[in-house]
Amino acid sequence: MPKSQLQCYGEAVYCFGEDYLNKCAKGKSSLERFASVVAWSISTTRPALFGQAPFNPILGETHHVSRGSLNVLLEQVSHHPPVSALHATDAKDNVELIWCHKPVPRFHGASVEAVIKGKRHLRLLKFGENYEMDSPNLLIKLLPTTGADWVGDVSIRCKDSGLEADLCYYKSHAFLGFGGSSKSIRGKIFHSKTLKTIYEIDGQWDRIVKLKDVHSGEVTILYDAKKAISGLKTPILQAPQNLWPTESATVWSEVSQAILNKEWGKASAAKQIIEEKQRKLQRERKSSGELWVPKHFTVTHTKENEWDCSPLEQSVPPAPIIVHP
């Protein structure tokens, strides 16, 4: 795939049709806002392509894009293990996002599962609400049929409102692994203290997800993938003079262009040059005892190898790369 993993993470935030993030900040009640956050979380799940993988970001690689008043910045804060940090701010809607992603592979014989460690935080600053959530895992099937899908349990919590949601991404079982309803999602929204269910959630995350009020029985559409992730626009380089040398589009430009031109030998050679340069820099740091430090985040991790990333700046500045709303 002619793009970096950082770009893939970023696209989940700034590439969309209908603006579900904006809806989170406009909810009139804590329950309405929570349901909107659940819908937005589902909107960040994008179809995965079997057999195509993005580039592994180099250490210190960045991706900086703006869409309207939403400014998004990512940095690769570790290469071994791979850890990506994201910070996004929207001054107009008083929204802040902070992510820390660390994919860990698990091998299951006929499949490989990329377990996404780390938390996502969405903050609605106007209401003083912080939402903490997980990410589904990417399951790559090798036998009996090939494919890639998002699976696993996702929890969304807001201690400030006392609300939680449990979601399950799954593929229904079918005979010998063939058929079945893929891209399914089921869950509930409930009170943290009483565990009393308010809404039931059911549908397919690449189509329609419905919300059912357990008290009245009323069913509404929570999320419409066709509206959310169709008609996506390509980011445009608006200010080349402000582009950082660490920007994904700069780091991988030669490799990406060669792939688009189907010049596989040239792409492989260009990729090898980038990777060898990184190995050389790593040897030089090890020789001199230099400790590499991220430019945009502080990073901490425990003995259990759990990572946490915090942005150094309060807000993300406008980017040289933009996406037109």
Mean pLDDT on 263-274: 97
Which is nearest to 281 in space by CA: 64, 273, 73?
A: 273
3-class DSSP state for residue 207?
coil
In a domain, 298, yes or no: no
Per-residue pLDDT band at 48 (split at 50, 70, 90): confident
| Number of domains making up the chain | 1
pLDDT value for 30: 98
Mean pLDDT on 135-141: 91
In a domain, 23, yes or no: yes
pLDDT value for 176: 45
Mean pLDDT on 205-215: 96
Q: Kindly list the distances between the CA atom of residue 35 and the CA atoms of 14, 26, 131, in Å, as whole numbers in the listed order.
A: 20, 12, 11
| Cβ partners under 8 Å of residue 310, min gap 6 | 98, 297, 298, 299, 300
In a domain, 255, yes or no: no
Ramachandran area for residue 226 (φ above 0: left; ψ -120 to 50: alpha; else beta): alpha
CA distance 184 to 201: 11
Residue 54: pLDDT over 80: yes
Contact 228, 17 (CB under 8 A): yes
In a domain, 198, yes or no: yes
pLDDT value for 2: 93
In a domain, 25, yes or no: yes
Which CATH number fits the domain that encloses residue 34? 2.40.160.120
Residue 102: pLDDT over 70: yes
Per-residue pLDDT band at 109 (split at 50, 70, 90): confident
Looking at per-residue pLDDT, the higher value among 120 and 144 belongs to 120
In a domain, 263, yes or no: no
Structural domain boundaries, residue 231:
5-236+308-320
